[in-house]
Structure formats: structure tokens, C-alpha cells
Structure 1
Amino acid sequence: FPNLFFDSQHLAKLRFLDLSGSQFLEKIPDLSEIPNIEHLDLCRCTSLVEIDDSIGLLDKLVELNLDGCVNLTRFATRLRLNSLEKLYLSDCKRLESFPEIEVKMESLWWLDISGSGIRELPSSIAYLTGLPELPLLPELYSFTLRGCNLSKSDFALPLVYWYTLTELDLSGNNFVNLPRGFSKFVNLRELRLTDCESLLEIPEQVLPPKVSPVRLDNCTSLQKIPEVSWVLLDNCTSLEKIGSMYLSLTNCVRLRGYYDITENIFLNPRFDYDINLPGDEVPKWFSYCKDATIVRTKRYQYDARCEVSFEIPPNLKWETLRLVLCVVAVAEVSIFNISFTISLNGQRVNEIRLDRIEEGHVRLTCIPLLNRNYVNLSQPLKPGNLCKVEFLLSLYGRVPAIDKIPCGVHLLGHQVADVSVTEDFYQRLLP
């Protein structure tokens, strides 16, 4: 490349440079000696692997064409291209990342990254204020746009084109409502809206059908959300109404005493539910309640244990049996580890471990009674079998201000007319 120029004193005057189709060109070195370049054509340079970072500082550059550079892996690390109007990166199959944009690039009105290896765009993409829409990326899976102080109009139009997105992170932005275009993200599975302190509402039928989870930690103005299968809503201090079934609501203080969550929402056998919300008692609809006694085990460690035993009623369908388990971390007590062990007639049939519960919160977990990884029965179960649930809770740090932790168990299941048919289910579980 340096040998292309015979008189370096004229490089500063260079405006147009066409190296398209240079099949043996592997690297573009420092371009600071051509600061006034306006048009740089490197398309179909199939051996080109790397371009020096100085290309991102050419503030007179109007058009940059890298179409068909199939082996290009490095394309600057930052862009300060105030004059750039057109950027072509199509079919750069090995180019996986887009540079950080350090200034508003209001002049850029054409960006083509179709067929490239780019799967995630930086949050600084918001600086491309001149684009009428962000490009359609048939293979874009993840998009992050944090902390950009976006309003609804800033991102609603571009996002409706990304039908294959599976992860979308819009944390820390200041929009008030989500646009209805979100419903077009038919493959979106995870949506992060943490720290969106101005978000008031997520309208009904806006969230895509497959999204799970939705993360809404610290959305302190949020007042209403639609029903979704898993929502994380830590520190949503203004939230007053919820319709979701799989929730973590740490520090949502307006939900203290919110017990409209009833046993009916746990009946869907397709999900394992885990709900964390402010509160100080086991819900009234629980069938079995017992206190776990706190015992000091080490200098800075305390455990709490209890057991709840009951008989399985004869009129329930075995394969639909589910347990709702409850632990209450009362004031001044934080629980760091939780373990539930479920046994039938002395034989372990399921086990689950959960992470911490902050003080002043209730944890509700719903799981199947039987886990096929544990079930190894020597004979089919019959109605009237004894179920035992063991609670083991671990506490660390300061001496607890109380000596007991409220726990609860509630059995769910569908009724059957003929109890004998349930035995066939257990026959199938035998080795």
C-alpha cells in the first residue's frame, strides 16, 4: 500500500481513492497522511483482514465502501466521521462487531450491513441520528441500547424491523411507554428494561408471545404491566398492579401486603413459578404452615429447619400434582440459601434450591411433586401416601433478631373420578 504513492507531499490533497478489487491487499495502514480523503472504495478486496484505527478519524470522509471484504475482521474501534454519508459493509462475513460511535454522525443516511457477521450493535448506535431507519439484519440476535436517554420516538421505528431478535437490552433509558411495534418481535425471548425510571406502563398485547424473562429492575415509576410468564421487577417502588405469574419484585414497596396472588395462578402445569414480593406472612390460602427454628451452626452462620408432612388425598390425579412452597424472610433477616426436599413414603422424589431472599419479602415457588430424575419407585403409589417437605434455610452474618422463620406448603392437583387410573402413571415410572 505505501508504494502506491510516489510523492507524499500531494497526499494531503487526495480526495478520491479507489482500490476496489485489490485481491492481494491484506491490511490498510495508518491513513492520517490523507486527512482530506472524501471517497474511499475498498469493495471486493477479498484478502483484506484489517484496517488501521485511523480510518475512524477521517472527518472529511463522505463515502466508505467495504462491500464484499469477506475476510475483514477489524474495522476500526471508534468512529468520529462527522461528514460520512454512506457506509457499505455488506457481505463482510467475518466482521462481528461494529465500532463505538463517539460523536453524533448526523450526515450518515445510508448504512448497509446486510450479510455481515455483525450480530450486536453498540449502544452508541443512537448517535446515528441521520438514519431514517436502522438496517434490516435477518441474522441479528442481540441488540443493546443502554443509557442513551432515548425517548419513544428515538427507537420505535427502527426496532420493528428486527423480527429475528432474541435478546433486547434497553436498560437505563427514559421512555414512558413501550411502542406497540414491540409485538412484532416474534422471536424475542429476553427483554431488559432495568433502570428505566420514567417507564409508567407496558400496554396490553405489546410484549411478544415468546418473551421470557422481562427484566424491569428499578423501574421506579412503573404502575402497570401485562401478564407474562416471567417478569423481574426489583425496586419498582411505584408498581401497584400486576398481572404476571412469574415475578421477582424485590423492593417494590407499594406491593407490601399484596396477596391477590392466589393458588389459581399456579395451576398451569407448563411452568415452574418463582415469585418474590414484599410481605411478612404466609398467604392465608396455604394449607400447611410451620415455623422453621433458627439454630447457630458456626460463628457467623445460622440454619433454620422444619418439616411439613401430610397425606396425598385419594381424589387427585398424580401426574398433575404440584407443590407451592413459601418462605418468609421477616424484618432484619436475610436468607442466603434455601433448600427444599420432597419425599413420598420416605423416598426422595424431588429437590430444589433457591438463592437469597431479602428481609421483608416472601418467596413463593411452585414445582411438580415428582421429578423423574429422582423417582425410582419399587412399587406403584396408591392413594393415601405420606408426603414430607423438608425446609433448610441458611443465614449468614449478624445474629438474627428472631428465632423462627414462617414457612408453608400447599398441594395443587386436578381431581379424577376413578382413582385407580392414576396407578398407570406410576407403572410407567418403574425401571
Structure 2
Amino acid sequence: MLAQAVFKRIRSQFQASSFLNDVIMEHEKHGLATLQQQLIDLKLKSEKDEAYLHLMEWYEYPLRSIPRGFQPVKLVELIMPRSRFEQLPMGFTNLKTLKLLDLSDSRNLILTPDFTGFPNLEKLILQGCTRLEKVDPSVGALERLILLNLRDCKCLRSFPHEINLKSLEILILSGCSRLKNFPEIGQNMIYLSKLYLDGTAIEELPSSIEHLTNLALLNLRDCKSLLSFPRVLFGLASLKSLILSGCRCQPTKSGHPLGLSPILSPIDVRLNFVQLISFSVLYYLILPNTYLRILTCVALILWTHFSCVARQHESKPINLLLPRSFSGLSSVVSLDLSDCNLLDGAFPDDLSCLSSLQSLNLSRNGFICLPNSISQLSKLKFLCLDNCTKLKSLQNLPISTQLVMARECTSLENYSGQVVVWTSGEAGFTFINCLSLADDEECKVGEVFLLDSQVRPLWQRYMEEKIHQSQGLQSILPQTEIPKWFSHQKYGSSVLIRIPSDLYENSSWKGIVLCAIFVVHKDLISSISPSQDPYFHKFKLRLDMDGGLVDCPQVFNIPKDRFHAGSFGLWLYLSHERFRDNLDERNCISPSITTHSPDVEIKACGARLLYDTDMAEFVQNLSENNFRISEDLLHQGHENSWNVI
């Protein structure tokens, strides 16, 4: 876009045949940095472009400032990931019409701007700004802010003492590992539905969190400083998904016996019994005074004892303390308590209060038996017990359970190393996977699960329920062409969907299904620049409705180690809940999928509006693609699971 604009601006100064030569001469004469600065100045100082500029999207902007006097007063979206800004330039500080500000991964950014200059801002994305230490208190003036994303701002220590953003729906503080205090919640924050605090140093949640009456998802994964289950959550009637994985805190120094915190030497001296006796005898012989001999030996023994006790305390994290009752969490559908060091007796005797619970993750815990009260979970469908190495039996499973994952449960009796499918009560079937992770990575479970014609209908029913329950899913399959089932297809990275006039009122409409074919070129992998992500292919999804962009771009990270070369299909399902309110009188939707990975080429894109009546056909079409490639997957090891987005 920039190159095209620059060319149009200055092409009259050069002959068409010599334009490239003139650019090369300028480069050789003044240097690339000077030429780059001149081109940027020439582009941004264009009065015509500035007056009508609504969208500015510039990845890896190379300068620390913008040309003086450049003020795009009508700017609606400012998207400049990985820029070199230390703070937002003055030309961008008073934008009354701005709705989206994205400075993600700008690792030089130290200060946030005064947000009073952005009264209409709806989305603020500062994800990955690793030097950012605090957020300006003026963020509280953003009354129209819907999304605030500060993920992986690892130096962030200071957040406004209180937030009362009445329009905020999503707050992301994931990975802000130095953030210890979560702000007080104002009474106006009734629309916040998703709160991500995973990986923070937060010790407790404020009692004012009860004002979040619409909160549906709370992620507290790996909050190592949380000592107990946050009881303030019991009053959240709308909470659907609660994630407490990895919340098992390290003991404080005061937790050592007698309140002592022994000082260990830098070389971590470790004495066994023989060494202790030898040192004691040696000190007894060389010291002249009997009283001094005895005192020294006693001190040596005590120092060794407390050193061993300290090491034992340091190696055994405290388990997350669960409440005696979950009586205030009847709305929770999904609960993740994995890796919380839960032992036998840690669970309440009464779990029937979790009357809506359908998914329970208890992986990487230390209990030997499932609690008897787990049978009270009358709606439980999915139970994950991976890496519960002490678990010996699967007794007391609720009759509603459909899928049990118990991989690497090495002490498990009867089922260890097997994949079992059996009928049970109202669920119709229970699928139990007790393979080792090594076998599962080789897709042996996929071989049983996908190639068994008796299991196939069960998998289709499971996928239908998963689509009904989520707002978005994604999957990657080895693939070279788009299935004919997709009614709208086009070569390239975008496709056009005509909208029926009654779509908005159609209650059976579920959303949109997309399939994009992309190729990873093996011969281009070595040409990746240092600024590119070495681990993931990054894809961006945008929805264009008759020229109006909907929502901020949805980014997908695809692991390079699994999809390093070949042709693949990116399958996406988007619920209408993500964009239904933006339809109005629109005539068409144009999804586009783009990537900045130089070794990836998007070949084609397909789409289809998904209705309830299409659900079975869609899942059947998906399963056919899974079954068709299942034998290849057994050898290639590609990921073929569907992930929530």
C-alpha cells in the first residue's frame, strides 16, 4: 500500500523505464535509512491522504516518530504492531474518531498516552509491549472501550486503583507476571464478560468483583500467589467458565519450622549422615575447649536439619485450598482445576451444587481415587484426568459422562494403556482414553476413534454439541483443495458471501464456516527475517461488511514444528454472536485471511452460512475429511483437533 502510494506521488518525476534505477541511485548516494525517511515523509505529508485517512495499518514501522504536522484527524483504526515508538507521537494523541488502537508487540513502548484524546476508542491492544510499566489513569475516561488487551506486558506493575469502564466486555492481563494488585471494580462494569488474569502475581481478588454481574469467563491459570479458592466468586450468577489450573502456591519463609528461614550457601552444601559424623568428630578434636566443641557440633546438626527441612518445603508446593461447598457456582459449565496439587480429601463432600457443570479438568493432580461426590455431577460430559499418576481407579463416574481422558495415568487399574468405548446411561456412550502420551502423539487414539465405524457417529454428535456451545472453533488438516460443500469459493485470500434479506431474523442461523487452503514453502523457510516469529505461522481473519470492518482482527498461531512444509486447510467456525449486531442492512460479508509469514502462501478460500439444518451435513463433511487423512496423520503426526477461539 505504501509503495503504491509513493509511486503515484512521485512517478511524474521519473521516466517509467528508469524509476527503479533512480531509486537505486538514491539508495547508493544517501543510504537506505535516508531514502526510507524521505519516502515516509512524502507519504505521510500528503494533505489529500491525511484528510481522508480512516485506516492506517503499518507493521514494523521503523522510526520512533512521525513527520511533524501529520495529524490524521479522521482516523478510525490505527494498527501499527511491532513499531519502534517509545510513546505515541503527538500527531496521534488527539483523534476524536479513533475506535481501534493496536500497538501490539511494540517492545520499545514505555508510556501509554493520555487517553482523554480518544473519547470514542473501542479497542485498545497493547499486547506484547514488554517494557510497558504502567497504564495511564486516564484509561478510566474511555466510556466506549469494549476490549482492553495487555497480554504479556511483563513489566507492567501499575494499573489504575479502580476501573469503572461501563462498556468494557473483555479485559486481558494474561502474562503480566509483575502485576500483584487487581484494581477495584466500579458498579458500572456490568458488561464485562471475559476476564483473563492468567500468569499474573495477583494474590487475591477484590470483593468488588461482585459488580461483574455479566462475567462468563474468568481465567486464573498459573496465578501462583493465590493461596485459596476465591470465595468472592460465589456471587457471580453468570459465570460459565472458571480456570484455576496451576494455582498451587509456594510456601512463604514464615512457613518453616520455628519461623526460621535457613540461609543456604551459594554452592548448596548437602551433608549425608556419614559426612555429618565426620565433620562433628573433626571439630571435636581440633577445638581446644570442651564447651566450644559441644556447641559447635550442636550448631552443625541444627543447621543441617533446618537446611533439609527448607529443601523439603521448597520442593513441595502448597495445594490450592478448595471451599467446603461450591454452593454459589451453580451456573459454571466448565471448571479447570488441573495441576493444583489436589490430594484425596481435597474435594467437598457435596458437588451437586455444580448443577450445570459439563466439563471438568483434574489433570496433573495427586489423588489416588476420584471423590465419591463426583457422581453427583449429573450433567458432566467431559472429564480430563491426564497425568494423574497416582490414580488407581475410575469409580463413581457420572452416568452422563461421554469422554474421559486419562493419559499417562500409570497407576490406573483395568484401563491402563487402552482405549475403551462403552455405553452408559443417558450419555449413550463413554469414550475412555488411557493411552500414554507417546502413543497418543502417534495418533493411535485417532486410529481407534476415527476409523472405527461404530465410534464415528459418536464423534459427530460430540462435534455438533461442541459447535453449539462455542463462539468459534479452528482446526488444521493436511489438505490441497476446498470441499465442494462450501458454496462460496474463490482463489486468493478472501471470498464474498451474499446475505439473504431475512438472515438477521432467522433464528436457525448459527454463523459462518470458512476453509482456507495455504501452502508452506520449504525452500523459503531459510529466508525468514529475524523479526518474524520463529515458532508460529500467524494468520489474521477480518470480516468486511460492505466496506465496514467488524471487530478487531482475529489472530491464529499455527505451530511451525507441526506444519513446516506442505499444503494445509485452515478450518474456522465463527458464531453469529460475534458479528450479528453489525449486519443491519448489509448485503454481503467478505471474510479475508492474511498472513505476514513469507514462507506461507494462501491459495484459496471457501465459505458457507451455517444453519441448524446444515449442522449434521457440515460435521459429516468434516468427519469425511478427517477419516480420509487419518492414515496420513498416523505417520505425519499433524494436529487434527478442534480448538476453541
TM-score of the two chains, using structure 2 as the length reference: 0.37
Match of 2:182 among 153, 172, 178: 178
Deviations 1:99-124 (A, max 9, x none): 64332455954663444674644342
2:205 is aligned with 1:202:
yes
User: Equivalent residue for 1:90?
Assistant: 96
How far does residue 44 in structure 1 lie from its aligned partner after superposition?
6.4
Match of 1:322 among 366, 371, 378: 378
Gap change, CA 1:56 and 1:91, over 3 Å in 2: farther
Query: Which runs of structure 2 are paired with 1:380-391 in the superposition (5 Å)?
Result: 391=430
User: Equivalent residue for 1:237?
Assistant: 248
Deviations 1:51-100 (A, max 9, x none): 77797625486775222145x6765751425683462333246x673464
Gap change, CA 1:398 and 1:157, over 3 Å in 2: closer
Match of 2:435 among 393, 396, 407: 396
2:171 is aligned with 1:160:
no
Provide the rounded CA distance (Å) in 2 between the counterparts of 1:46 and 1:62: 18
Provide the rounded CA distance (Å) in 2 between the counterparts of 1:187 and 1:48: 28
User: Equivalent residue for 1:266?
Assistant: 352
Deviations 1:296-324 (A, max 9, x none): xxxxxxxxxxxxxxxxxxxxxxxxx9366
For 1:266, what is the secondary structure of its paired residue?
coil
Provide the rounded CA distance (Å) in 1 between the counterparts of 2:150 and 2:156: 13
2:54–2:75: 8 Å Cα contact kept in structure 1? yes
2:188 is aligned with 1:138:
no
Gap change, CA 1:55 and 1:217, over 3 Å in 2: closer
2:230 is aligned with 1:219:
no
2:116–2:138: 8 Å Cα contact kept in structure 1? no
2:221–2:245: 8 Å Cα contact kept in structure 1? yes
> Which structure is richer in relative contact order (CA contacts within 8 A, separation 6 or more)?
1
Provide the rounded CA distance (Å) in 2 between the counterparts of 1:361 and 1:169: 38
Give the letter aligned to residue 214 of structure 1: L
User: Equivalent residue for 1:46?
Assistant: 52
Structure richer in strand, relative to its length? 1
Query: Which runs of structure 2 are paired with 1:267-346 in the superposition (5 Å)?
Result: 267=353, 269-272=355-358, 274=360, 276=362, 278-285=366-373, 322=378, 332=389
Deviations 1:206-260 (A, max 9, x none): 252332332222222211212354422222222542345553222212x312444
For 1:396, what is the secondary structure of its paired residue?
coil
Deviations 1:22-69 (A, max 9, x none): xxxxxxx977239999x9796961156557779762548677522214
Gap change, CA 1:280 and 1:145, over 3 Å in 2: same
Match of 1:57 among 44, 55, 63: 63
How far does residue 193 in structure 1 lie from its aligned partner after superposition?
2.1
User: Equivalent residue for 1:251?
Assistant: 339
Gap change, CA 1:203 and 1:329, over 3 Å in 2: same
For 2:51, what is the secondary structure of its paired residue?
coil
Deviations 1:241-289 (A, max 9, x none): 2345553222212x312444233x424645546362642113245779x
User: Equivalent residue for 1:33?
Assistant: 38
Provide the rounded CA distance (Å) in 2 between the counterparts of 1:89 and 1:125: 25
For 2:185, what is the secondary structure of its paired residue?
helix
Give the letter aligned to residue 178 of structure 1: F
Give the letter aligned to residue 322 of structure 1: S
Q: Give the unaligned 5+ runs of structure 1.
A: 7-28, 289-320, 343-349, 363-385, 401-431
Gap change, CA 1:74 and 1:173, over 3 Å in 2: closer
Gap change, CA 1:160 and 1:397, over 3 Å in 2: same
Provide the rounded CA distance (Å) in 2 between the counterparts of 1:129 and 1:45: 33
Gap change, CA 1:122 and 1:111, over 3 Å in 2: farther
How far does residue 195 in structure 1 lie from its aligned partner after superposition?
2.2
Give the letter aligned to residue 257 of structure 1: D
Gap change, CA 1:50 and 1:187, over 3 Å in 2: closer
Give the letter aligned to residue 33 of structure 1: Q
Provide the rounded CA distance (Å) in 1 between the counterparts of 2:112 and 2:78: 26
Give the letter aligned to residue 352 of structure 1: Q
Provide the rounded CA distance (Å) in 1 between the counterparts of 2:125 and 2:180: 25
Provide the rounded CA distance (Å) in 1 between the counterparts of 2:40 and 2:154: 30
- Across the aligned residues of Structure 1 and Structure 2, the Cα RMSD in angstroms comes to 5.2
How far does residue 394 in structure 1 lie from its aligned partner after superposition?
1.7
TM-score of the two chains, using structure 1 as the length reference: 0.53
Structure richer in helix, relative to its length? 2
Match of 1:112 among 114, 117, 120: 117
How many positions carry a matched residue from both structures? Answer: 305
1:56–1:76: 8 Å Cα contact kept in structure 2? no
User: Equivalent residue for 1:418?
Assistant: none
2:172 is aligned with 1:148:
no
Provide the rounded CA distance (Å) in 1 between the counterparts of 2:244 and 2:190: 23
Provide the rounded CA distance (Å) in 2 between the counterparts of 1:183 and 1:123: 30
Deviations 1:332-381 (A, max 9, x none): 4799x9xx895xxxxxxx6633545664999xxxxxxxxxxxxxxxxxxx
Deviations 1:398-431 (A, max 9, x none): 899xxxxxxxxxxxxxxxxxxxxxxxxxxxxxxx
